[in-house]
Structure 1
Amino acid sequence: MGTTQLEAVQEPKYWHLKTVLIDALDSEFEVGEILPNERDLAARFGVARATLRQALEQLELEGRLQRRRGVGTTVAPPRMGVAVGPSANVWPGAGRDAWHTIGCVEAVAPAPIAAVLGTAADEAVHTIHRERVMQGQPVATELLYVPAASVPGLSPMLTPASHAPAVLRELHTLELDGEDRAVELGSARAEDAKHLDRLPGAPVLVVTSRYFAGGRVAAASVATYRADTCRLTFGDSGTVEVTHHQAEGRRAS
């Protein structure tokens, strides 16, 4: 890396520095390689460390870099696709669902979810915690909320191990009328951050889904994806696809 003069640039210094760093990542660094420390980088580019941090944070948000605990800042690998849903109008857990169930409890849903489901503010609903892992890396964590009214035939004698499968089986007996999704940028809650191996407050993509049956919302889910390594694409089928970085790959691009 050579020293670059940024004083005459009209755009913010950190933004121009970001483009300079991208060129360096493409030409001088391999995927997974650790970058020099901030002091050395700031000296090479003739910028303040605060400016450098802004540029590095932007590159991390865009998925070019990864900050790993106990390692440092490394060059991120290329991306691969992960579909949010297998197809339209399919219940969660049905067919070739890529989610893995962690557990299920009966708990009061957050107020916005209770409003979506039409349940009372203090009414407990079946809450299934699921996650997605690809090539050993956490991709997303999800909470699926199913009110008791949607699974009236559920046996009251459920063990922790049988709770989630029983809720999903009962839910699948309903005729799914349709579903919709909303995507927004958010910040990782402490619990989500732990499952995604991120720090609390890290940027995430939140996908909220509603499942309709019998003229009402029969279930709702909130899936949280790492925003620093994910992007959303929309194909001809309208299916949302999330992509994340592969564990292995070629030179950063």
Structure 2
Amino acid sequence: MGTTQLESVQEPKYWHLKTVLNDALDSEFEVGEILPNERDLAARFGVARATLRQALEQLELEGRLQRRRGVGTTVAPPRMGVRVGPVANTWPGSTLDSWKTVGCVEAVAPHAIAALLGTGSDAAVHTVRRERVMRGQHVATELLYVPPASVPELSTMLTPANHAPAVLRELHTLELEGEDRSVELGSASAEDAKQLDRLPGAPVLVVTTRYFSAGRVAAASVATYRADTCRLTFGDSGALEVTHHEEESRQAS
């Protein structure tokens, strides 16, 4: 058989450099150590700075590096296993929930969320902002969208302090029939980046969840996780912890 087009494609320079850098991170650097600047790294490995940036971006995506505000590029600690969803199907804000509520407003939902909820594109919904902290580090931020039709008994006398607890309390009176989730790779918005101590555009994992009650979508959430820090796990078996990047490589081999 002849050589296919894909077989004839050479490995990109940045990909080879990524492998070399990955080995250097294991042998020469400690977790949290700041890497030399791009000019020095490019000179050391004999590559253009554009090629170096591509390799560094890929290593950041894979969780080996972190870009920190006012610090630079550092060697990332091992990813934490983060379980998505409690042991059993429950509403957000239950006793099994590991999120902290930080506020709530009533505002028009983004078009994509309005489509998920089946509300009008100009309809206001209750938007609860929550955050998740593990080992003292902010690992995720979430927006939970609840249409007024799902919480019809909600008091109209709401203050900033009791808005979110009241929405969650009313949501818990509904029978949760099920939920579904999707996960995709995304880039941190300016607001999410600020919450997660990342740079805008940094890689993130976006988990979208729909909660069903009475045969319809009663609420929807969009949770943004740090891709450099988190390993998302699902199901009831608990979070998988990987203690070191080298251990991960051994398990895969």
TM-score by structure 1 length?
0.87
Residue 34, structure 1, aligned to residue 20, structure 2: no
Structure 1 residue 231, shift from structure 2 partner: 3.2
| Matches of 1:98 and 1:242, distance apart in 2 | 16
Alignment of 1:60-209 (within 5 A): 60-209=60-209
CA distance in 2 between partners of 1:114 and 1:197 (Å): 28
Contact 1:117 1:217 in 2 (8 A): yes
Check the 8 A contact 2:82/2:232 in 1, yes or no: no
TM norm structure 2? 0.87
Letter in 2 for 1:165: P
Gaps of 5+ in 1: 1-9
What code does the residue aligned with 1:187 have? Answer: S
Q: Percent identity at matched positions?
A: 82
Equivalent position SS for 1:160: coil
- Name the structure 1 match of 2:25: 25
In the alignment, residue 87 of structure 2 is paired with which amino acid?
Answer: S
CA RMSD of aligned residues (A): 2.3
Alpha-carbon contact 2:78-2:229 (below 8 Å) kept = no
SS of residue matched to 1:95: coil
The DSSP-based 3-state class of the residue aligned with 2:161 is helix
Letter matched to residue 229 of structure 1: T
CA deviation digits over 1:48-103, x for unaligned, max 9? 22221211111111110111122221111112212111124210001221111110
Separation in 2, partners of 1:89, 1:213 = 12
What secondary structure does 1:33 align onto? coil
| 1:252 positional shift | 7.2
The AA in structure 2 aligned to 1:166 is A
Question: In 2, are the aligned partners of 1:30 and 1:252 still within 8 Å (CA)?
Answer: no
Deviates more, 1:114-123 or 1:140-149: 114-123
| Pairwise CA distance, 1:232 | 3.3
| Contact in 2 for aligned 1:130/1:143 (Cα 8 Å) | yes
1:124 corresponds to which letter in structure 2? Answer: A
**Distance in 2 between residues matched to 1:122 and 1:234, nearest whole Å:** 34
- Secondary structure at 1:125 match in 2: strand
How big is the shift at 1:234?
A: 4.5
Give the 3-state SS of the residue equivalent to 1:161 in structure 2.
coil
Residue-pair matches, total: 239
8 Å contact from structure 1 (residues 106, 127) kept in 2: yes
CA distance in 2 between counterparts of 1:80 and 1:204 reads 14
> The residue matched to 2:67 in structure 1 has which SS?
strand
How far apart, in 2, do the equivalents of 1:121 and 1:39 lie?
49
- Tell me which amino acid in the other structure corresponds to 1:232: L
Secondary structure at 2:97's aligned position in 1?
A: coil
Change in 2 beyond 3 A, CA 1:203/1:118: same
